[in-house]
Structure 1
Amino acid sequence: MLLLILACTLAALTMLPSLELNSEYINLLPPKEEHRMLRQEVLNVSGSTPGDLYCLIEGEQVFTADTLNAVQKVLDELSTLEEVKKPLSPFSFVTVQKKGTRLSTFPLSPVKEGSSWTDEDAKIFKQRLEADEIAKGLLSTEEGNALLFQVALKEKRTDQADVHQKIRDIVNILSNYAEVSLIGTPLFEDRVLFYLSHDLNRLLILCMAVIVLLFYLAFRSKRAVIIPFSLSLIALVWTLACMVLLGYALTVVNIIVPSMVLILGSSYAIHVLSEYYRSLSANATKEERNQQIVDSVTRISKTIFGACLTTIVGFLSLLICELEAFKELGIAVSLGIFFCALLSMLYIPAILSILPTPKQKDLRTFTHGPIARLVHTLSLRSVRSWPVAIILFAALLVSFIFTKQQVSIETDYLTYFPKNDQLIAQSIAFAQEIGGSDPHYITLTAPEQEKNYFLRPDVLQQVHAFEEELLRTNKDITHMLSFSRYVAFLHSVHQGTSQIPDTPGLLLTLSRLLVVVSKQMEHPMLSSLISEDGSRITITVRSFDSRYNSWESLESVQKLQQSIRDARHLLPSELIIDDWGVGVDALRMSKSIASDQNRSLLLSLVLVLFIVIIQFKSFKTGVFALVPTLTGIMGNYLFMYLLDIPFDVVTIIFASVTVGVGVDAAIHFLLRFRRRQAEHPALPYEVVVAQTLEDTGRPILLTSSALILGLLVLLFASFLPIRYFGLLLSFALLVTTFATLFILPSLMIALHKLSARSRRRP
């Protein structure tokens, strides 16, 4: 058996180098198909495009010859990189001027290619930039003290982080002249990758240290350290190998898989070793000892099987979630749990059979040590103070009803990073100056895709009124770019008033000029404003959270969508409106997360109840088994409410996980109680409960301590959701343990007394 386990482990080890880290947080929930198609058609980008980078240059010396020469040099170097498209910058932007009765195009930059900037050129450039209502706010701040250029990346590559570093090295030259910020979704993914790899190593080491320390303190024996530690490592290697075979990568969600497998693996080992130490005789012969090993494993097998099955059910309930990352997490951890349970039934007995019998002092420490004395005291307290536990349970139930709907949901990925991360600080500063780097798009489609629909003056005037209403009522909007606004700008240059022309001829002329400007710029930004057949236009909105003067939040996305609904009456009724973008996807993901949590929790509760009812052949016992788990979940809602901890992409699964993991101790207690009651039917009910608590209290405390301390290791993670997950699940298991040792016995005693009283009535 040991040779077979060794061979499987060596084979699994050869697969581990193929395990990848996936840093794509934003795409955890892919956009709707219709939005994906709009993105591809409007922006002319595919799903594999990594996204854009934005460079903000600000300071008093921005509009000087030295700084602008340095900017030009940087743009020239970026243009030579094969990995990027031609940057969009104020230097490449084309504006218009009136010559006689006609409009003509000319570049914002007065410097010809290959020439150097002078202070006079810089002055002219600034004047032109401030006069162009489209460029101002798009490629500079409204105050005119900064410049912005945009670098569009080509297809995503395996060495994408190296490409970003090349760009960063080139752009950093500008820090000698002004304050420079380089931000964008691709850079966030780089930071995610850094933190994932950093956390993976750190958390694994800390989990291993906790397991070793806890087992040594609990058993004071080398074998009690080496056996569970090696079991957890083997199960972890097998689990990671299965992830490779299934094509899974480690993401910001399932980065907790290795830690969970290590922690859960140790809990099963505690049950087996505790049963072994409890039943072992120090002077037994080898044959007697082997038989005692078999008997111990046989007795504890129902507990291991029940705990394994219910925990797997808790995680597999995530399969009904919409987010693929949740499904992968559920499958990966379920495999790890299965391997842990299997190894505890096969690997531990095989190892114990070749090791010498534990020393007498080790056995005495186990049965009469501090933990044993603590368990004895707790068992007496639990039985005598059962009314207090009932009152506490009732109070917790009331608080849960009050707080359940008060916990918020957070999907803003900026809040997940460490607050001292430089990229986060720069991104928030960027949002305050320019707005978010991920625009909100509003696409208007003509009825039945009528050609040239938006070249009708009456229609475009209504669209323009709609946009003006959005700007008037929504203070989160920092910039808006659209076909109607560009036409109004051209009209202001031509006629002196910013409005939509009343005649189709002038409107058609101005729209053709837009095509000319777009081609001269060699950038799809302006061409995305209206489709070639004039049947669709797209409004690009850049916004931030004006309440907190920070990055766009879910509240600001909802606020913008409400503004769109409120201003809808200004548009032709037959128009079709689609709003889309990263913010919309994040909002949809928050709703999906809430729905996933409710459905997976309900499913896990039903399945666990069904399993326990079958195992015990009793509906009442099945309900008893869920009492500690429900207590833990209710306690966590109160905990989250008091500490203002939100649900997020990781913590949302804590309830389903608690159902699977938290019910293990209750099953162990109820199995031993039923056996005790069958062996001693004449004993008073309270005495059987107290004896059961003494039998099971030690392994329950040890397994719970291992789980709680192991989960608290997640507090050292870089990402806030993972830290919250460790804190919440460890607190839930702490409450679950308390409920198993106090509330569950108290409810059993209370119901027994009520039943006995009803039987005595005539």
Structure 2
Amino acid sequence: MASFFIKVSSTHGKWVYGILAVLTLIAAWQIRLIQIDTDPENMLPEEHPQRVIHNEVKQTFSMYDAIVVGVVATQSHDNAGRGNAGRENGVIYSPELLKNIHALTEYILQLDGVVTQDVMALSTVDNIRQGSDGTLNFSWLMPTAPKDTVQALEVKHAVERLPMLYNTLVSETGKAAAIYVPIVDKNQSYAIGQAIRQFIAKLPETQSVNGDWHITGLPIAEDQFGKEMFVQMGIAAPAAGLMIFLLLFVFFRNIPLIVAPMVVAMATVIITMGSLIGMGFTVHIMSSMIAIFLMPIAVVDAVHILSEFSDRYKPGESAASVIQTVVGHLYKPMLFTSLTSSAGFFSLMLTPIPPVQIFGAYIGMGILLAFIVTLTFIPAYISRMSPKALVKLQQAMHTSHSQNRTLLQKMTEALRVISLRYKGGLLVAFALVCGVSVWGISQIQINDNPVRWFKADHEIRVADTALNKEFAGTYNAYIVLKNSANAIDAKALLNQFPLPDELAAWSKGALSELAVAHSDNKLTVLAMAIDDALFEGYSDAAIAVLEGLAEKVDAARVQGNVFQQPEYLAVVSQLQAFLTEHPLVGKSQSLADIVKVVNRELLSGDPLDYRLPHSQQAVAQHILQYQSSHRPQDLWHFVTPDYQQTLIWLQLTSGDNQDMTQVINAVNGYFEGNPLPEGITHQWAGKAYLNVVWQDNMVAGMLDSLLSAFLIVFVMMVLLFRSFVFGILAMLPLTITITFIYGAIGLVGKDYDMPIAVLSALTLGLSVDFAIHFLARAREIYRQTGDVNFTLNAMFDEPASAISRNALVIALGFTPLLLAPLVPYITVGVFLASIMAISALVTLLVLPAAMFLLKPWVFPKE
């Protein structure tokens, strides 16, 4: 196979150039179709049960993703010298700030993509008070901006009497106010957020109280990450490429020569990304990193070829002949490093997470593409270099005064001394390191939060911290209680009720309506059909029968309206009381809260009457009263029209899936001690909960893929070297590197998140790369010399130099990622550098020591 690649590159160089250029241009043209997707919900397949439940809950209860706009009042000029005096009324209730909040709310209501009827702000919600005639009085809480402090204080007193608004629209401290902006499409959140920011910038300055405005919420965090990720894609990869180019120049001092690996890397990246986009896949946070992951892998083989070529080539020799010899030596190690690296990434296709599957598939294909391009383009390119350029290469590489050469020699010489002089000590030291690392791995905390994808000083993170400090929480999770007991069948009720012949046609029509009605509304549909029939001019006898049927249906509806019954609402209320005590739950809201507020205002307005009524009829009347408000649709956010399901809205101050897991476990523990009534079940929904689900799927999937890839690579190593011992030796650097990297993560307390999870595949591929080259060259040198000591010493000449160059080029080449504003890119930069440095050191320190101690099996005498 090596001869095939050499023949193609040597005899059809122009065809190689042409085909590569055409493929690159076609792929580059596809990139214009790019679509960004940063929604963590898509980390789960569309048919995943929890995702299906989440979407059903959103649809059933008309819940929308929401942006949270908040303002936090700062130092009051009027009260600056009086400590807390004058602040007891709450500084957010400044007429000037309330005027700005009112103006901003009016602007938000005009924006396209906003669910206007569900916007929650001081000017869009009701003040519920007792009316003079024993009914409720619903009036807008803040219909206009207060003109003075007296009117502002009226708003304050109204908010504090309404538990559903207190600490949601205004903080308990009285220092902050919020506007909840539900949006039709979460992909519009960035545009809506930008429009809101621009309007805020035009608001008039306040004199008495300053206000710091913030915008947060998972939808805008995810969408803004997508916009910034797109920019970062265009900066990070070229910056890393430039750094690699500069480092290659430091090592080889020959621009024409180092152009070759850069062409290989850029062509591989463009063709791979263009293929992904052209096939219709969206670019998720995972696939946005394909370019960054492929760059080092695509360069590694080329650097090995350049290193050996520069060491072997002598002036006057045929470049084509030398490059053929070099490729012949390196073909098998490069083939197996490519296969093992691609196997590591292909194993990610075993995970149950679609973006990770796509990421693994395309990087795996990209690695194989890079191998083919390297073995065709590099020989074709080098064999056509001018003699003048090759002479300059020799002058740069073999001059004794070359500083970079001296540094590299000093480094490899130091490694030679340490590895061959302290063999036993090294193995003991690394065994101890592995032992500590294993303990560190046990300390790893699995945690992720899309808001944490931004740096701490990013406006999204700042807003998240500020608003969650003031309010009950900007993260949402939902507990849905559902009556799973067999409900009364409307169709059976109609069929069993004796009807006169006069009503036969009506009965047939009613049955047809029931057949197409939603299962949750069949009794309501039947009741409406009866009401219509009562005005159809039937005989008195038929009317009497219909009225009797209506009574039966009403009784069935009352019996079926589970969450209209006080005892069931009490279950909800008791669960809320328990959740209130949990430190991670800022607040919860439910139908029970609505009923309690109405009950209080209908009876006395006294806090003692903030309780559930004792009868189902009273609950039904309270709900009917509430539906006279300006926002009757709010009721259906908490209960279904048939009262078979009810929703409890949890506001959380943290979106970390670790914290959400604690809340889930607490609720499960509560239900163990306080079982739900027979027939009532519960389920979770909400973005905070989905984060937990896909994290669990990711960790389990990554573990399975890593173990399977590890076994596959081990088998490949045994087959490559046709030796069980060499197979174990090849896996040694990989095992130590993975153990050390992930042990360090646990020891330093770094969360195990999505970028770190997929880096395991990169660790596997790059760590085994160095080991394969080291072992293959050692075996070759030993076959030529038969001398163990000479072989091990010779490994610290050109082979060690090539490995060191590769490690330094990649480790330093991706330092530009450390300047990225997005944390996943910084994480990848740090861990790429760590993986390369550690795997190279382990290869050059541990392998020689292990090979010497196992020399009867590693270096058998002929």
- Structures share fold, TM-score greater than 0.5: yes
The aligned counterpart of 1:303 is 333
The aligned counterpart of 1:467 is 576
Q: Give the drift of 1:756.
A: 10
The aligned counterpart of 2:792 is 689
The aligned counterpart of 2:27 is 12
Number of equivalent positions: 737
The aligned counterpart of 1:207 is 240
Q: Give the drift of 1:490.
A: 1.7
Q: Give the drift of 1:37.
A: 3.6
Alpha carbons of 1:77 and 1:361: their partners in 2 closer, same or farther (altered >3 Å)?
closer
Partner Cα distance (2:411, 2:222) in 1: 49
Alpha carbons of 1:137 and 1:225: their partners in 2 closer, same or farther (altered >3 Å)?
same
Instruction: State which of 58, 62, 75 in structure 2 corresponds to 1:40.
Output: 58
Partner Cα distance (1:713, 1:247) in 2: 30
Contact 1:110 1:121 in 2 (8 A): no
Contact 2:95 2:147 in 1 (8 A): yes
- 294-303 vs 713-722, which deviates more? 713-722
Contact 2:579 2:588 in 1 (8 A): no
Q: Give the drift of 1:311.
A: 1.0
The aligned counterpart of 2:351 is 321
The aligned counterpart of 2:275 is 242
Alpha carbons of 1:33 and 1:302: their partners in 2 closer, same or farther (altered >3 Å)?
same
The aligned counterpart of 2:596 is 488
Name the amino acid aligned to 1:526.
L
SS at match of 2:754: coil
Instruction: State which of 97, 117, 136 in structure 1 corresponds to 2:129.
Output: 97
Partner Cα distance (2:774, 2:583) in 1: 59
Contact 1:92 1:107 in 2 (8 A): no
The aligned counterpart of 2:631 is 521
- 178-187 vs 603-612, which deviates more? 178-187
Name the amino acid aligned to 1:350.
A
SS at match of 2:455: coil
SS at match of 2:610: coil
Contact 1:453 1:535 in 2 (8 A): yes
The aligned counterpart of 1:28 is 43
Corresponding position: 1:76 with 2:106? yes
TM-score normalized with structure 2 length: 0.80
Name the amino acid aligned to 2:775.
L
1:632-670: CA deviations, max 9, x gaps?
Answer: 112213432443322111011222211111111111122
Alpha carbons of 1:698 and 1:527: their partners in 2 closer, same or farther (altered >3 Å)?
same
Q: Which runs of 5+ in 2 are unaligned?
A: 1-15, 75-89, 488-559
1:229-268 equivalences under 5 Å are 229-268=262-301
Corresponding position: 1:628 with 2:643? no
Q: Give the drift of 1:430.
A: 0.8
Instruction: State which of 158, 175, 185 in structure 2 corresponds to 1:155.
Output: 185
Alpha carbons of 1:35 and 1:614: their partners in 2 closer, same or farther (altered >3 Å)?
same
Instruction: State which of 374, 394, 406 in structure 2 corresponds to 1:363.
Output: 394
Partner Cα distance (1:110, 1:557) in 2: 35
SS at match of 1:232: helix
The aligned counterpart of 1:538 is 647
Partner Cα distance (1:14, 1:552) in 2: 39
Partner Cα distance (2:390, 2:364) in 1: 36
Q: Give the drift of 1:80.
A: 2.5
The percent identity for this pair of structures is 17
Name the amino acid aligned to 1:393.
F
TM-score normalized with structure 1 length: 0.90
The aligned counterpart of 1:220 is 253
SS at match of 1:202: helix
Corresponding position: 1:500 with 2:612? yes
1:691-745: CA deviations, max 9, x gaps?
Answer: 2343411211111222222243322222223322322232232221112112112
- 191-200 vs 702-711, which deviates more? 191-200
Alpha carbons of 1:51 and 1:464: their partners in 2 closer, same or farther (altered >3 Å)?
closer
Corresponding position: 1:582 with 2:690? no
Partner Cα distance (1:583, 1:430) in 2: 17
Q: Give the drift of 1:110.
A: 6.5
Contact 2:327 2:375 in 1 (8 A): yes
Name the amino acid aligned to 2:751.
P
- 658-667 vs 268-277, which deviates more? 268-277
1:242-276: CA deviations, max 9, x gaps?
Answer: 12123334433333222222222221111112232
Contact 1:515 1:527 in 2 (8 A): no
Contact 1:42 1:538 in 2 (8 A): no
Q: Give the drift of 1:576.
A: 0.2
Corresponding position: 1:331 with 2:349? no
The aligned counterpart of 2:723 is 618
Partner Cα distance (1:108, 1:10) in 2: 61
Partner Cα distance (1:216, 1:693) in 2: 22
Partner Cα distance (2:165, 2:620) in 1: 22
SS at match of 2:135: strand
Partner Cα distance (2:686, 2:204) in 1: 32
Name the amino acid aligned to 2:193.
H
Partner Cα distance (1:64, 1:755) in 2: 81
The aligned counterpart of 1:169 is 198
Give me the CA root mean square deviation: 2.8
Partner Cα distance (2:464, 2:57) in 1: 23
Name the amino acid aligned to 1:428.
T
Q: Give the drift of 1:454.
A: 1.5
Structure with bigger gyration radius: 2
The aligned counterpart of 1:548 is none
Contact 2:67 2:215 in 1 (8 A): no
Contact 2:253 2:393 in 1 (8 A): yes
Name the amino acid aligned to 2:644.
S
1:189-204 equivalences under 5 Å are 189-204=222-237
Instruction: State which of 726, 729, 741 in structure 1 corresponds to 2:829.
Output: 726
Instruction: State which of 388, 411, 431 in structure 1 corresponds to 2:425.
Output: 388
Partner Cα distance (1:64, 1:655) in 2: 54
Partner Cα distance (2:196, 2:410) in 1: 65
Contact 1:68 1:117 in 2 (8 A): no
Instruction: State which of 535, 556, 566 in structure 2 corresponds to 1:457.
Output: 566
Instruction: State which of 646, 661, 666 in structure 2 corresponds to 1:558.
Output: 661
Contact 2:61 2:638 in 1 (8 A): no
SS at match of 1:567: helix
Name the amino acid aligned to 1:91.
S
1:125-150: CA deviations, max 9, x gaps?
Answer: 33322222332233222344543322
SS at match of 2:377: helix
Contact 2:851 2:858 in 1 (8 A): no
The aligned counterpart of 2:374 is 344
Contact 1:134 1:489 in 2 (8 A): no
Corresponding position: 1:644 with 2:749? yes
The aligned counterpart of 1:547 is none
- 733-742 vs 274-283, which deviates more? 274-283
The aligned counterpart of 2:469 is 432
